[in-house]
Structure 1
Amino acid sequence: MKNRILMTPGPTMVPKEVLDVCHLQPYHHRTPEYFKLFSDLNSNLKKIFKTNMDVLTLTSSGTGGMEAVVANLFKRGDKVLVASIGHFGERFYDITKAYGLDSDIIDFGWGNAVHLDILNDALKKDKYKALIVTQNETSTGVTNDVKSIADVAKKHGTLIVVDAVSSLGGIPLNMDEWGLDAVITCSQKCLMSPPGLSFVALSERAWQMAEESDLPKYYFDLKKARKGVQSEKPENPYTPAVSTIMAVKKATDMLLNIGMDTVYKNQHAIGEKVRKTVKDMGLKLFPDEAISSDLLTAVQVPEGYKAGDIINYMSEKGILVTGGQGHLKGKIIRIGHMGYVTDEMLNLTFNALKSALLDLS
């Protein structure tokens, strides 16, 4: 199969410098070389999370990190509120239910962002131990204002858990300054690396809750992971995805060398360019542009076309984009542009989309 350019919600493209690291023989995970590598990665991640707390590395997808937070923070019957704006908000709610939490979901609708007044009213009506929210909803191309959402949660003494799986390292997030209690991300989105790792950071308040948690956990026991990070020889409790850790270390070096403020500015410019270009083609964005993601653009399928035909046509041209999920299947196409994206990739994507609209008309 020929190589395709991944303009998807993830996995995303990986820079050559990072791919080169993936080809190296992995370290053994109980050696001084690995301890140094893992320590340096932890230091990089703390700078990107913008936290003084430990960042824990789990061998899993982002969903594993989401499950780990639920399993470690809560007790059976704890009451939590999930503020959902799409598929991944619903997924987090499903995880809470799987662990027996007394969870409620407030659905703001696919294509909308969290409405602060409605959220405030919901938190007034009941006493929730935690609020769970997605920063960047890739099913709809919408970004939530997490800082303002956290301010609302703080007024009610509610912990805030943030799914930053597709956003951390691409748009601003400041864990400590914003008072976030749990933040989850993964390797294959804005961190420009292959899939296989999730990363979790907890606040002091969240760690206190973890001490009281009675939910089942073994592989995803964050207290074990924290003990390994804080060891004189930093390590993971079990065999990690060493090659991916080597890759993420290289990728985070690259991001920090650019500077996170510059990374955010570049991602915003890319988002603006994609939105302008698709509108210039006569296409309509799915969400309101004021809440559109700088990391993924959802485009309405124009009348007379089929989403699957456009996606397949672009794939034949070497550009992989994705369709809608849930009730948006067949109604939108999603163009991912997070992490490692070049002008050449963007232009090839635009050309493939333009050709699809012409040839399939």
Structure 2
Amino acid sequence: MSDKILMTPGPTMVPKEVLDVCHLQPYHHRTPEFYELFSCLNSNLKKIFKTNMDVLTLTSSGTGGMEAVVANLFKKGDKVLVASIGHFGERFYDITKAYGLDSDIIDFGWGNAVDLNKLEDALKKNEYKALIVTQNETSTGVTNDIKAIADVAKRHDVPVIVDAVSSLGGIPLEMDEWGLDAVVTCSQKCLMSPPGLSFVALSERAWQMAEESDLPKYYFDLKKARRGVQKEKPDNPYTPAVSTIMAVKKATDMLLNIGMDTVYKNQHLIGEKVRKTIKDIGLKLFPDESISSDLLTAVEVPEGYKAGDIINYMSERGILITGGQAHLKGKIIRIGHMGYITDEMLDLTFDALKNALSDLS
């Protein structure tokens, strides 16, 4: 392979079939061809979100989708709880503060999952307008049990907002069945497409919250986006990233043709293979294996090595991985294996890592 293999938290590798679509001339976004394309994409996304609600397409990264949820669901001063297990939980908290919410953050620590008992105690202490939580925390390689978290929130009648930016389409998430009120994801992770789009779905309860919201929004006004989706000829309020929409339509066709249960099973097998190989090499996983992600593996940097040296060595050999963030910088390396991953990609990554440890010792 001449190009670098992206074993990162995102962007991720894009299948040839999807790349071929990216090379086509884009549709004009006010034409019958686009309306049909967008309608099919919306149908695919509902199947992957596991919801009967509309899924809205925004031209932004996943962070834009996170901001859109905050801007559309709350009033200034609303009290919300963010359950954080790493960098992206903290990011969601920062967004709530930027919009003037009275936010609390319960920090379970980088490398841990949400403790359900502590969460229950926190929800008892205040009347929160919502609970915000990350399903798959790529800064640490930890996956939260969203169903169990939603069950706790349900006992307190608290709406649940899920950052599924790096997880939707790779590990199970049942929006309607689990009673989730807002779910956010994006194009460049498990959906096997280039960056450029975020996707947001809201429950009926969340749409009622949107009716009462008084926070400023214009480009990210979800009510405008919903009106566009519900037209006989569905479209976006503004010019979208048409080529990326074309790509995601193709990628979601591929996922659904495989079958989501099979996708989840395959992703779990990949996660198990990566974790076993890492241990066989003699390295240590950063989080406890019981909460380790099937989509990204965080590995402790062994004594005597520098994370940057390992990353640079592998990059020079065509394999791109990433290091730790914030206080974990220099302490861990992160190997992404979400979305489009082949055995060849995994084998080349393992070989490059083994050679790095040998040659840098």
Within 2, Cα distance between the matches of 1:225 and 1:263?
29
Question: How many angstroms does 1:335 deviate by?
Answer: 0.1
Q: Which residue of 1 aligns with 2:344?
A: 344
Question: How many angstroms does 1:20 deviate by?
Answer: 0.1
Q: Which residue of 1 aligns with 2:273?
A: 273
Question: How many angstroms does 1:161 deviate by?
Answer: 0.1
Within 2, Cα distance between the matches of 1:326 and 1:271?
25
Question: How many angstroms does 1:43 deviate by?
Answer: 0.0
Q: Which residue identity does 2:308 align to in structure 1?
A: G
Q: Deviations over 1:304-348 (max 9, x none)?
A: 000000000000110000000010000000000000000000000
Q: Deviations over 1:189-248 (max 9, x none)?
A: 000000000000000000000000000000000000000000011000000000000000
Question: How many angstroms does 1:3 deviate by?
Answer: 1.6
Q: Which residue of 2 aligns with 1:110?
A: 110
In the alignment, structure 1 residue 210 sits paired with structure 2 residue 184 = no
CA RMSD, aligned part only? 0.4
Within 2, Cα distance between the matches of 1:14 and 1:323?
22
Runs of 4+ with deviation above 6 angstroms: none
Q: Which residue of 1 aligns with 2:53?
A: 53
Q: Which residue of 1 aligns with 2:137?
A: 137
Q: Which residue of 2 aligns with 1:357?
A: 357
Within 2, Cα distance between the matches of 1:213 and 1:124?
25
Q: Which residue identity does 2:307 align to in structure 1?
A: A
Question: How many angstroms does 1:136 deviate by?
Answer: 0.0
Q: Which residue of 2 aligns with 1:40?
A: 40
Q: Which residue of 2 aligns with 1:182?
A: 182
In the alignment, structure 1 residue 66 sits paired with structure 2 residue 44 = no
Q: Which residue of 1 aligns with 2:289?
A: 289
Within 1, Cα distance between the matches of 2:357 and 2:154?
48
Within 2, Cα distance between the matches of 1:219 and 1:320?
34
Q: Deviations over 1:81-135 (max 9, x none)?
A: 0000000000000000000000000000000000000000000011101000000
Q: Which residue of 1 aligns with 2:248?
A: 248
Question: How many angstroms does 1:274 deviate by?
Answer: 0.2
With normalisation by structure 1, the TM-score equals 1.00
Q: What is the correspondence of 1:76-95 to structure 2 with a 5 Å cutoff? A: 76-95=76-95
Q: Which residue of 2 aligns with 1:304?
A: 304
In the alignment, structure 1 residue 194 sits paired with structure 2 residue 159 = no
Within 1, Cα distance between the matches of 2:139 and 2:59?
24
Within 1, Cα distance between the matches of 2:288 and 2:279?
13
Within 2, Cα distance between the matches of 1:293 and 1:143?
5
Number of residues of Structure 1 aligned to a counterpart in Structure 2: 360
In the alignment, structure 1 residue 99 sits paired with structure 2 residue 99 = yes
Gaps of 5+ in 1: none
Within 1, Cα distance between the matches of 2:275 and 2:310?
18
SS at match of 1:110: coil
Within 2, Cα distance between the matches of 1:162 and 1:8?
22
Q: Deviations over 1:254-284 (max 9, x none)?
A: 0000000000000000000000001000000
With normalisation by structure 2, the TM-score equals 1.00
Within 2, Cα distance between the matches of 1:345 and 1:39?
34
Within 2, Cα distance between the matches of 1:258 and 1:47?
13
